[in-house]
Amino acid sequence: MRWFTVATLIACFSSTLLADHPDKENYPVHPRIDLIGPLGDWLPASYRRRYNRPSNTAGRISYYIAPSSLEAMSWHASKHRDAYKDHKPRTVMHYFYPKPWEALKIGPRVDTLNMKQINEVPSALPASQADETLQDVLQKEDGILDKLRQNQDEGASPSDQPLRPAEANSKNPVQQLIEGDKLPKTGK
Protein backbone atom coordinates (compact mmCIF):
# COMPACT_ATOMS: atom_id res chain seq x y z
CA MET A 1 0.00 0.00 0.00
CA ARG A 2 2.96 2.28 0.69
CA TRP A 3 4.34 1.81 -2.81
CA PHE A 4 0.97 2.66 -4.30
CA THR A 5 0.78 5.86 -2.28
CA VAL A 6 4.35 6.84 -3.23
CA ALA A 7 3.70 6.10 -6.93
CA THR A 8 0.50 8.15 -6.89
CA LEU A 9 2.22 11.12 -5.23
CA ILE A 10 5.14 11.01 -7.69
CA ALA A 11 2.74 10.83 -10.64
CA CYS A 12 0.68 13.76 -9.35
CA PHE A 13 3.63 16.00 -8.51
CA SER A 14 5.65 15.21 -11.63
CA SER A 15 2.83 16.25 -13.97
CA THR A 16 2.38 19.58 -12.20
CA LEU A 17 6.10 20.41 -12.17
CA LEU A 18 6.21 20.73 -15.94
CA ALA A 19 2.84 22.46 -16.20
CA ASP A 20 4.13 25.68 -17.66
CA HIS A 21 3.70 27.45 -20.95
CA PRO A 22 6.27 26.35 -23.50
CA ASP A 23 9.14 28.68 -24.08
CA LYS A 24 8.70 29.20 -27.81
CA GLU A 25 11.77 31.37 -28.14
CA ASN A 26 14.28 28.87 -26.74
CA TYR A 27 12.68 25.48 -27.43
CA PRO A 28 10.92 24.22 -30.56
CA VAL A 29 7.23 23.49 -30.12
CA HIS A 30 5.97 20.40 -31.90
CA PRO A 31 2.21 19.92 -32.42
CA ARG A 32 0.65 16.79 -31.01
CA ILE A 33 -0.15 14.12 -33.53
CA ASP A 34 -3.71 12.78 -33.49
CA LEU A 35 -3.29 9.03 -33.88
CA ILE A 36 -6.99 8.16 -34.32
CA GLY A 37 -8.08 11.18 -36.32
CA PRO A 38 -11.60 12.37 -36.92
CA LEU A 39 -13.98 9.69 -38.08
CA GLY A 40 -16.01 12.18 -40.13
CA ASP A 41 -18.52 10.59 -42.50
CA TRP A 42 -17.35 7.07 -41.77
CA LEU A 43 -19.79 6.79 -38.90
CA PRO A 44 -23.16 5.27 -39.79
CA ALA A 45 -26.01 7.77 -40.14
CA SER A 46 -28.16 8.12 -37.04
CA TYR A 47 -31.77 6.96 -36.93
CA ARG A 48 -32.92 10.57 -36.79
CA ARG A 49 -30.94 11.45 -39.92
CA ARG A 50 -32.01 8.36 -41.86
CA TYR A 51 -35.74 8.48 -41.13
CA ASN A 52 -36.28 12.16 -40.27
CA ARG A 53 -37.87 11.22 -36.95
CA PRO A 54 -36.56 10.41 -33.47
CA SER A 55 -36.13 6.82 -32.42
CA ASN A 56 -39.14 5.32 -30.69
CA THR A 57 -37.47 5.11 -27.27
CA ALA A 58 -35.91 8.59 -27.32
CA GLY A 59 -39.15 10.12 -28.60
CA ARG A 60 -41.26 8.42 -25.94
CA ILE A 61 -38.90 9.60 -23.16
CA SER A 62 -38.87 13.16 -24.47
CA TYR A 63 -42.68 13.08 -24.76
CA TYR A 64 -42.99 12.29 -21.04
CA ILE A 65 -40.37 14.89 -20.05
CA ALA A 66 -41.39 17.83 -22.27
CA PRO A 67 -44.41 17.16 -24.55
CA SER A 68 -44.05 20.52 -26.30
CA SER A 69 -40.45 19.92 -27.46
CA LEU A 70 -39.65 19.39 -31.12
CA GLU A 71 -38.46 15.84 -30.47
CA ALA A 72 -41.68 14.91 -28.63
CA MET A 73 -44.02 16.47 -31.18
CA SER A 74 -42.16 14.78 -34.04
CA TRP A 75 -42.37 11.43 -32.24
CA HIS A 76 -46.09 11.95 -31.55
CA ALA A 77 -46.83 12.71 -35.21
CA SER A 78 -44.78 9.70 -36.36
CA LYS A 79 -46.54 7.49 -33.84
CA HIS A 80 -49.95 8.53 -35.23
CA ARG A 81 -48.72 7.80 -38.77
CA ASP A 82 -47.69 4.27 -37.58
CA ALA A 83 -44.17 4.96 -38.81
CA TYR A 84 -42.57 2.85 -36.06
CA LYS A 85 -44.94 -0.10 -36.36
CA ASP A 86 -44.84 -0.33 -40.16
CA HIS A 87 -41.13 0.68 -40.47
CA LYS A 88 -42.01 3.40 -42.94
CA PRO A 89 -39.21 5.04 -44.91
CA ARG A 90 -38.02 8.61 -44.50
CA THR A 91 -40.85 11.14 -44.68
CA VAL A 92 -40.48 14.87 -45.19
CA MET A 93 -43.55 16.99 -44.50
CA HIS A 94 -44.40 19.81 -46.88
CA TYR A 95 -46.55 22.77 -45.88
CA PHE A 96 -48.17 24.74 -48.67
CA TYR A 97 -49.14 27.99 -47.01
CA PRO A 98 -47.34 31.31 -46.83
CA LYS A 99 -44.91 31.93 -44.04
CA PRO A 100 -45.82 34.73 -41.59
CA TRP A 101 -43.18 37.05 -43.01
CA GLU A 102 -44.61 36.47 -46.49
CA ALA A 103 -48.27 36.92 -45.50
CA LEU A 104 -47.86 40.16 -43.56
CA LYS A 105 -48.11 43.30 -45.61
CA ILE A 106 -45.04 45.17 -44.51
CA GLY A 107 -44.39 48.71 -45.55
CA PRO A 108 -43.60 52.16 -44.28
CA ARG A 109 -45.96 53.87 -41.89
CA VAL A 110 -48.25 56.57 -43.18
CA ASP A 111 -46.72 60.02 -42.80
CA THR A 112 -49.11 61.80 -40.44
CA LEU A 113 -47.66 65.20 -41.24
CA ASN A 114 -48.54 64.88 -44.92
CA MET A 115 -52.36 65.14 -44.95
CA LYS A 116 -52.56 64.76 -48.74
CA GLN A 117 -51.17 61.24 -48.44
CA ILE A 118 -53.62 60.37 -45.63
CA ASN A 119 -56.61 61.56 -47.68
CA GLU A 120 -55.59 59.28 -50.55
CA VAL A 121 -55.74 56.14 -48.35
CA PRO A 122 -59.03 54.30 -49.07
CA SER A 123 -61.51 54.16 -46.22
CA ALA A 124 -62.53 50.89 -44.61
CA LEU A 125 -66.06 52.20 -44.10
CA PRO A 126 -68.87 51.64 -46.61
CA ALA A 127 -69.24 54.26 -49.35
CA SER A 128 -72.27 55.85 -47.63
CA GLN A 129 -70.24 56.53 -44.46
CA ALA A 130 -66.84 57.21 -46.03
CA ASP A 131 -67.02 61.01 -45.61
CA GLU A 132 -68.28 60.90 -41.99
CA THR A 133 -65.91 62.03 -39.31
CA LEU A 134 -65.43 60.40 -35.95
CA GLN A 135 -67.34 63.24 -34.32
CA ASP A 136 -70.41 62.52 -36.53
CA VAL A 137 -70.35 58.83 -35.59
CA LEU A 138 -70.07 59.60 -31.88
CA GLN A 139 -72.98 62.06 -32.04
CA LYS A 140 -75.17 59.43 -33.74
CA GLU A 141 -74.30 56.87 -31.09
CA ASP A 142 -75.03 59.38 -28.31
CA GLY A 143 -78.45 60.06 -29.89
CA ILE A 144 -79.26 56.36 -29.97
CA LEU A 145 -78.16 55.94 -26.35
CA ASP A 146 -80.33 58.90 -25.26
CA LYS A 147 -83.39 57.35 -26.92
CA LEU A 148 -82.69 54.04 -25.19
CA ARG A 149 -82.33 55.76 -21.79
CA GLN A 150 -85.70 57.49 -22.20
CA ASN A 151 -87.47 54.13 -22.33
CA GLN A 152 -89.35 53.62 -19.04
CA ASP A 153 -89.49 49.81 -19.10
CA GLU A 154 -86.48 48.24 -17.39
CA GLY A 155 -85.02 45.02 -18.71
CA ALA A 156 -86.70 45.31 -22.10
CA SER A 157 -84.72 45.95 -25.25
CA PRO A 158 -85.99 48.49 -27.81
CA SER A 159 -87.03 45.72 -30.17
CA ASP A 160 -89.27 44.18 -27.46
CA GLN A 161 -91.33 47.34 -26.95
CA PRO A 162 -93.20 49.08 -29.78
CA LEU A 163 -92.36 52.73 -30.30
CA ARG A 164 -94.94 55.29 -29.24
CA PRO A 165 -96.67 57.05 -32.18
CA ALA A 166 -95.00 60.37 -31.31
CA GLU A 167 -91.55 58.80 -31.54
CA ALA A 168 -92.18 56.79 -34.71
CA ASN A 169 -89.93 58.21 -37.37
CA SER A 170 -88.54 56.53 -40.46
CA LYS A 171 -85.18 58.24 -39.89
CA ASN A 172 -84.91 56.90 -36.34
CA PRO A 173 -82.13 54.26 -36.27
CA VAL A 174 -83.90 52.21 -33.59
CA GLN A 175 -87.08 52.12 -35.67
CA GLN A 176 -85.08 51.05 -38.71
CA LEU A 177 -83.60 48.18 -36.69
CA ILE A 178 -87.06 47.07 -35.58
CA GLU A 179 -88.49 47.28 -39.09
CA GLY A 180 -85.51 45.40 -40.46
CA ASP A 181 -86.25 42.45 -38.14
CA LYS A 182 -89.87 42.10 -39.37
CA LEU A 183 -90.49 39.85 -42.31
CA PRO A 184 -93.18 40.80 -44.81
CA LYS A 185 -96.29 38.65 -44.60
CA THR A 186 -97.21 36.80 -47.75
CA GLY A 187 -100.83 35.87 -48.26
CA LYS A 188 -101.76 32.47 -49.59
> Is residue 117 one of the residues assigned to a domain?
no
> Is residue 18 one of the residues assigned to a domain?
no
Domain containing residue 91: 44-105
- 99-131 pLDDT tens trace: 777 777 777 766 666 666 666 666 666 666 667
pLDDT at 75: 95
Query: pTM for this structure?
Result: 0.34
> Is residue 94 one of the residues assigned to a domain?
yes
Count of domains for the chain: 2
> Is residue 50 one of the residues assigned to a domain?
yes
Same domain, 56 and 100: yes
Q: Count CA atoms closer than 13 A to 97's CA, side-chain side.
A: 4
> Is residue 26 one of the residues assigned to a domain?
no
Same domain, 51 and 98: yes
Q: Count CA atoms closer than 13 A to 161's CA, side-chain side.
A: 15
Same domain, 97 and 140: no
